[in-house]
Each structure stands twice: as C-alpha cells, then as structure tokens.
Chain A
Amino acid sequence: MPTPFASTVRLIAVLGCFLMPLQSATAGDFNDTIAAARGQTVYFNAWGGDDKINDYIAWAGDRLRERHGIALVHVKLADTAAAVGRILAEKSAGRTSGGSVDLLWVNGENFAAMKQHGLLQDEAWAESLPSWRYTDAAALPAIRLDFAEPTEGRESPWGRAQLVFAYDSARTGTPPRDAAALADFISANPGRFTYPQPPDFVGLSFLKQILLETATDTAPLYHPVEEADFEAVTAPLWAWLDAVTPNLWRDGRAYPFNYPTLRQLLGDGEVDIAIAFNPSDASAAISRGELPASVRTYIHDGGTLANVHFLAIPMNANAPEGARVVADFMLSPEAQIRKANPNIWGDPTVLAMHRLEAADRAAFEALPRGAATLSEAELGTTLAEPHPSWMAALEAGWRQRYGSGG
C-alpha cells in the first residue's frame, strides 16, 4: 500500500525523470555553446554615450577573452534604433546570417519593433542561460515582461532602471513630489524646468510618468493603445502640459536633446530639476565634476516608472553562440555586482538576493551608495511601464501639439 510519503517520492522520481535529463541536457548544451563561442568575435551594439558604461563593457570584454576566448567589440551607438534599422536593412537585403550585430542592448519600443518585424532569434534562449537561475521572475515580473510585451525568452535581462529627479539642494529648498506640485513649481519658477525632447527615451518616459499620475484610469495604459480611447485617456496629460509649457525652459520652444544634456543644464544652473533613468546617475555625475556636490535626488510620492533593460540577439547574428555566452556572463553575480557599484556604473541588479550564494549577497550589501543616491527603501514605490505601443502614440500626440515650437 503506497504511503503518501512513497507516492511523493515516486512523484519526485517521475518528475525527476523529466527534469534531470532536461537540466543536464541544458547544461550540456551550454557547454557546447561555450565551445562553439571560442574564437568568435561578438559585435555588441550598445549605447556609447557614457564613459562609465563603456569602461564596464571593456572590463567584461577582458574577462570574456580570458575565460572563453571571445573577442567582445563594443559598437558604440548614439541611438539604439540605428542598430535596429541596420538589422532591418540587412534583412531587406536578404542577409539572414552573417549580420553586423551579434548582441544588442535594448528594451521597450525597440524590442517591440524587433519582435514585430521578425528581427530576433526565434529560440527562447534567455531562460536556458546558466545564470538565469539567480533571477526570480515572480519577484521581478519585469524580467519577463518588457513594457508589457512578453519577452518569450528572446532577450536576457541585464539591469534595472527607475525614473529619478535631481535638484540642487543649495538652490532649491523642497522639490515638488508629484505632478500637481511640479506644475505649481514650474509656474512659480518660469524657464527653470524642461524635459528631453521626445522621441528621446527619458523625455517620453517623463510624459508617461505624468500621464500615470494624472490619468483617471491607468488600466488602459497596460493594453495596446489601439484598444483604448487615446484622446480620452491622455486628456489629463495634455491639459497638464498645456498649462506648464509656456513656463518651460526656452518657453517650450526648444528642449534638451537627451538626459545628459538636461543634467548639464542642471549643472550650469539653467534649470532646477534634471531627470534620469538611473538612481545613481547624479552621484556619478558629482564624482566626475559634472554636477555640484549639493545635488540630491528624489522620486514622486506616488512612485516613478521602473523597467528592466535587456540584451537581445538578432536573427542574423554572425556569432549567436558567443552572444549567448556574453549575455550569460553579463547576468552572472560577478558581473552584476560590479555593474551595481556606483563607482563603476551604478546600474541596479536584476538578480534576486535570495537566490544568490551568501558571499555574493554580502558583496551586494557591501556596495557603496553615492551621496545623492536614494536607498532601496526610498526608491521603493515604482510604477510599471505602459504597453510599448503607447510610446509611439504619445510621441505623435506630443509632436502634433508641441512639435512645431508653438
């Protein structure tokens, strides 16, 4: 007579029959991948506008060369969409292998575009990477849901981002901590606030932040924009912008190119508030002498946008095995600890602390925090990214209203 214990054992054994070979097959596969990757050159297309990030990628390249014989070449992009466009051009020219991009730093709109146009590897490779076991998709759903777009294992999580605001505490007493207070602040300090010009990523993110704070119902934002009454849902955003735009920097007739330019304006004292998608950006800028030491950061009381950024492999990658080995290394505790160090880069990790070895967990906890960086508890409240289709619609709406400079 089978006892409950025995049946459980049998169940485990049966499951084990399915799971064990599968797991070892996966590990075996990855050893094959590592073997195939040896000697490959991986062209890693990643935004190259930040020296700290560039130095970090160079460090990763050194490790990968030592351990796996992979030559990692950082192709420094001014705009990720340029690389997506190149892959598209290659596809349209019939180049289905031997492409110029092996690995791409991507998320949100660009990922959605790649998925839509069939520019990604077909396989669900990301969740079979050995380092995937250190993540916890239940605790951080955004590693499987890129701006509400399922990743389907076709991009591997790399880091986290959250929208934070920076101000100079020597000049501004109390910064405004929600959309309504920000509107009051702008009318009280004309010419001293702006945001990066859409379609800049941070600029559009700021619009989404205001929309999430002012919308009466945010549920439609998490479904494709085609299913929603765009005008009705976004009306509060446009009303907010209509009210503040005349009092923006340059009367809303010009906008900074991107967030580093905005950060520079804060450093120059031209504006009072800067926006960044990395909580430690301001601390890093202080240490580089680009912002005064009195700069501090804050988030809105209702929380701010947060998302995950990823590494994707194009369908025509020339070194897909090498690209997977690089993605796996980038997700490893070793690489993630270094990346989270604000003196190196300061990009928050996508790993789950409870899945790590004790030593790695301790290393994460021992990381320094810059003077201007908020604690994890202070950052606590986050807002999920709307569906990526809202990006294009918001940008078109913004261009229609403010795109001709008034």
Chain B
Amino acid sequence: MPAGSWQLAARGSLVLLITVPVVASLFGVALPAIGIFPALGGAGLSLDPARAALATPGLARAVLMTLTTALAATALALLGSFAILAMAHGTRAGRWASRFCGPIVAVPPSAVAIGILFLLAPSGWLMRLVSPWLSGLDRPPAFALVPDPHGIALVFALLAKEMPFVLLVSLAALSTLPAAGLIRTGRSLGYGRAASWVHLVLPLVYRRIRLPLAAVMIFALSVVDMPRLLGPSLPPPLAVLAVEGFEHADLARRLPAAVVACLQVGVTLLALVIWRGGEMFASAMLAAARRRGHRGRWIGPVLIPVAWLACLPVLAAVAGLAAAAIWSLAAGWFFPAALPSALTLASWGRIDSLAPALASSLVIAVLASILAVVAVLALIPLSRGRTRPFLRASVYAPLLIPQVSFVIGLQMVLVWLWLDGTWLAMIWVHTLFILPFAWLIIAPAEAALDRRHLAVAASLGASPAHRYLRVVLPMLSPAITTALFVGVAVSASLYLPSLFASGGRITTVTLEAVALASGGSRQMAGVATMLQLAMPLAIFVLLRVWQARRYGRFAGMRAGGLQ
C-alpha cells in the first residue's frame, strides 16, 4: 500500500495508543511500590511497602508454588500436545482432536476452573457418582482433594486450558512446515515415525511457538480466577496475593500489594530464565542422542500413553462443564446423589438479570476483536524491513507483562484520563489484550503469503488497493477468521482487566460468573458458566460458516502455490 502522510499519522497514533498505556501502566504500578501514592499520604521514596510485602507470611512458599505450578503446567502442556501431534497428526483421531481444540481454547479459564471444581471436589460429581456404592461414603471425604495444598489441581486445570491452545498454535506452525517430507527423510534414515517427529519436525515446530509458549507460562504465572477456585489459599499464588492486597479494606495494603505486583515481574523473568535452561538441556539431550545414532525405538511406545494421558485434563473439563450444565437445572442436589433429586428451569428463569452482561460482552468482544485485527493489518507493513523492537514489545506487552502488574498500573492511567468505567476504556483495554494474539496469528500468515499471486494479479492490471482487497485479504482470511475468533474468546475470558477497566459500571458475563460463583449458588454459577461457553462458541460457528461461504474457493491457495 502506498504510504501517504495521513497514513503515517494514522499509524503513528496507532502506535501511541498501544505504547502509551504500556509505559504508563508500568509507572502506575512501580510508583506505589516505592511509596509514592499521594492519596494515601505517601509522597516520598520509601522502603516501607517493600518491607511490609517481604514480611507477608508464607511469601517464599507463594513464590515457589507460583513458579512450580506455572513451569509444570507449561512443560506438561508442551509435552502433551507434542505427544498428541506426533502420534495423531494426519490420523482421523488427530483431525478430530484438532477440530475439537478451537472450541476448547475458547472456554474461559474461570469456566474451566468451575467445571474441574464441580467434577473433582470432595463433594464433586465424580465422588457423587461412586458414592456410596463404591466408596462407602455417605458424606464427602474430609481430605483435601481439590483444591490441594500443592497446586496440583491448579496445574490440572491449567493443562485443560493450555494444552489445546499449544496444540492449536503447533498445528498452525506445522502447516508452514514440510512435515511429511521430513518424516519420510527420517524414516529413510531408519528412524521410526515417532523418532522422526521428535528429531526433525518438533524442534522446528517448537522454534515457531516459543512466543506463544512464553505467553502460556506468563498466563499461568499470573492468572487470578483459576487459583482462586482451585489453588491453595494459604498462601495463594503471587498474583492472587497482589489482588487480595488491592481489594483489602485497609487501603494502605495497596502499597505492599504493588510491591508484590512488581515481584511478580521478577518471578516471571526468573521463570523465563529457568525455561531457557530447560530448553538448552533438552536440545543438548536431543543432539547427543542424534550423535550417538540412537534410533529411539522406545519413543513411540512411550509417547502413546503420554498422548492418551494428555487428553485427561480436557476430558475432565468437558465432564465438569456437563456437571455445571446439570447444576444450572438442579432444584436441589445433595451428596451423595449422583443426579439432582429434581430438575427445574427456575435458575434459567432468572437469566434476564444476566442479559445486560451478555449484550455488553458481545459488543465489547466483537468490536475489540475487529479493532485488533485492523490494527495488526495496519501495523504489519510498518514493522517489516526496519526493526521496531519497541513496537513489537508493546504489542506483546499485555501477554508478556503479568496481568496483575499491567492491569493495576493501567487502572491508574485510565483514572487519570477520566476514562475508567467507559465503553471506550473497556474496548481499548480488550483490544490491547487481543492484539498480541491477532499479531501472532496474522503476522506469520502474512509473512508466508505466496507473493507470486500478487505478481499475477498485478500483471492482470489490478491496482494496489484492489490487490490488497481481492488477493491479500482473501488469502489471509483463515488467519483473520482465527484471529477474530481467538479475539472474541480472549475478550470473553478477561476477568481482571474487565474488573479494573469497567469501574464496575459495565458488566460482562465473566464478571457476573465470578461474582455469582463467589455468591455460592452453584445453580446460578452453572447458568453463567453456560453463557460463558455459549458466546465464543456461537461466534466460532458463525465465523466458520461465513468463512466457508465467502472464501471457501480460495482454500487451495492457503498452503502456497497454485495447484
């Protein structure tokens, strides 16, 4: 596209809209941490907040647990999805699994957590199904099953949420690789199918998904709604500790909480360093195995059970969501009954109280997703050729800065601008959080475009605008559709950013669901969870149908080359 001066100006302000909140939010969280918060009388530099934060009981255990749960969840999600990829790619089960991934990725984390809780808690559905005929229990066991003090339930739920995501981005990366050829090469050298995957294909896939993986880990490090339902509470993970400080009635607790939010950034960096160490170790092991010429015949037999085990968390989440659906219809459901004593639509009858939340969720999700996609399409040419590390860093910031730290600072900025609690702020913040996903999905697709199509179109006399609209966009349509869908899903899942940016005035289904879940009514929590599911799924179906109708005939051009 020709770069007129108005375009430069538009792009410049676009860059500002992305970078300013990121930089300002960092100040917004850092200043209170060093004691500068005039409204609380903190005007000068002080180490008191830091001292108070470090005196938090169990802080060391909170840090350790935050690190172990996030690293375990990320490593297991990677292992599980790679095992599924290597074992099932190209098979019917694999196609079924990949089709299943999209909708599962769209399920908001809080809904997954509610589902796992409804299934696995001591009084959960699983225990009800086996009681008392098998377990001999007429009341729930007293031991800590879910939540547990070590965060195992949290890791399990994170896996249910993250494995399909990792699988999805791996599949996207795989589609740009000549996997079949690589496998043939491997097999011709005497490696098994599984070993060929491990030595030849997966390292290439891995290289392409490092950024999404980092985002997965940072999400696991800083998520708040899932550990609140499933994680240990004494002490909770760092992110929950920070939010608790900010929600505390004693306003002075905000200063140490800001320190914890900053500490969260440090822990995130530490986790990335540890992950890098693990990467180097794994690649050294692989290299050593290749040098010694091991053909790795054991890899296949090991990966098969791993692939099956990897399906467990997702299946548990689905069963848990089924339990949530049953709860939404339950009149009364007391342990150890396997099913409610009676069904009623009473809880669904109160759905009108959730209607405003549903409407605003839809409006925000759709507008923010479209804005993010448009912004990415406008920014891609800007980032090409010249290196723009700052712009890229800003686009990724909401993913790479722990949510708690980013959002707390962002709220200060919004209040300064008198924007908190406005639709503009909500859509802006949601757009910021969707941007990195849209970028991750669209940028590689754009880079992989087969430019010969453009040359052909130009030789047929198409203008640049015409080429962009009629050739580039249709070829990017799968990526754009995916980005829109992921955008809606991301928007639907945002809890903390919505809470802080909405000023409480704009409510979303996720905010309502978490508020209801804290109200202890499983029936209404079940209804809200169903709505949380319905929204992204409806958009998913709509987009797929639209894409098939509109751009189905370009399908052959996706992989590159006219056939």
Residues of chain A at the chain B interface (Cβ within 8 Å) = 43, 45, 48-51, 54-55, 58, 73, 75-86, 88-93, 95, 98, 100-101, 109-110, 113, 117, 171, 190-192, 197, 199, 249-251, 253-255, 257-261, 263-265, 267-270, 288-290, 292, 391-392, 399-400, 402-406
Contact = CB atoms under 8 A, between A and B. Distances in A.
Contacts of A92: 37-40
Contacts of B284: none
A86 B247 contact: no
Given A54-B353, A77-B504, A403 B234 contact: yes
A239 to B, nearest CB: 19
B334 A85 contact: no
A190 to B, nearest CB: 7
B385 to A, nearest CB: 41
Interface stretch (B11-19, B429-437, B476-484, B513-521): B513-521
B57 A403 contact: yes
Contact of A267 (B234, B334, B412): B334
B494 to A, nearest CB: 15
A88 B235 CA distance: 27
Interface stretch (B249-257, B366-374, B397-405): B249-257
Given A49-B518, A89-B39, A290-B521, 20 more contacts: A49-B519, A51-B519, A51-B521, A77-B504, A78-B515, A78-B518, A83-B504, A85-B246, A88-B251, A98-B418, A101-B504, A109-B249, A109-B250, A113-B250, A191-B143, A254-B233, A258-B518, A260-B519, A292-B332, A402-B234
Contacts of B246: 82, 85
Interface in B507-526: 507, 511-512, 514-516, 518-524
A110 B249 contact: yes
Contact of A260 (B331, B344, B499, B521): B521
Contacts of B249: 80-81, 84, 109-110, 113, 199, 391-392
Contact of B515 (A48, A98, A113): A48
Interface string B379-415: 0000000000000000000000000000000011001
B140 interface: yes
A79 B251 CA distance: 13
Contacts of A191: 142-143
Contacts of B248: 81, 199
B164 interface: no
A55 B37 contact: no
B144 A86 contact: no
Nearest to B62: A404
A91 to B, nearest CB: 5
A404 B235 contact: yes
B523 A289 contact: yes
Contacts of A88: 39-40, 251, 254
8 contacts: A76-B515, A86-B503, A254-B144, A268-B140, A289-B344, A292-B334, A392-B249, A403-B235
A51 B139 CA distance: 28
B140 to A, nearest CB: 5
Contacts of A110: 249
Contact of B58 (A58, A83, A405): A405
B122 interface: yes
Interface in B321-336: 330-335
B8 to A, nearest CB: 33
B518 A86 contact: no
B519 A399 contact: no
A92 B258 CA distance: 16
Nearest to B516: A49
A404 B61 contact: yes
Given A51-B353, A82-B247, A404-B58, A258 B520 contact: yes
A249 B335 contact: no
B16 to A, nearest CB: 21
Contacts of B234: 197, 253-255, 402-406
Given A260-B519, A269-B335, A254 B232 contact: yes
A251 B38 CA distance: 42
Contacts of A117: 39-40, 251
Contacts of B244: 199
B421 interface: yes
B147 interface: yes
A283 B335 CA distance: 19
B551 to A, nearest CB: 42
A51 B524 contact: yes
Contacts of B276: none
Contacts of B504: 43, 45, 75-77, 82-83, 86, 100-101
A257 to B, nearest CB: 6
Nearest to B507: A76
B208 interface: no
B121 to A, nearest CB: 8
Contacts of B37: 92
A89 B228 CA distance: 25
Nearest to B140: A270
A265 B57 CA distance: 27
B162 interface: no
Contacts of B251: 84-85, 88, 113, 117
Contacts of B523: 288-290
A89 B507 CA distance: 20
Nearest to B244: A199
A45 B421 CA distance: 13
B498 to A, nearest CB: 12
Nearest to A90: B415
Given A82-B504, A270-B140, A93 B57 contact: no
B361 interface: no
B350 interface: yes
A51 B520 CA distance: 10
A264 B139 CA distance: 13
A253 B144 contact: yes
Contacts of B520: 49, 258-261, 263-264, 290
Given A78-B514, A402-B234, A253 B149 contact: yes
A269 B95 CA distance: 44
**Which of B149, B234, B415, B421 counts the most A-chain CB atoms under 10 A from its CB?**
B234
A92 B511 CA distance: 26
Contact of B250 (A171, A270, A392, A406): A392
B412 A93 contact: yes
B416 interface: yes
B505 interface: yes
B233 A55 contact: no
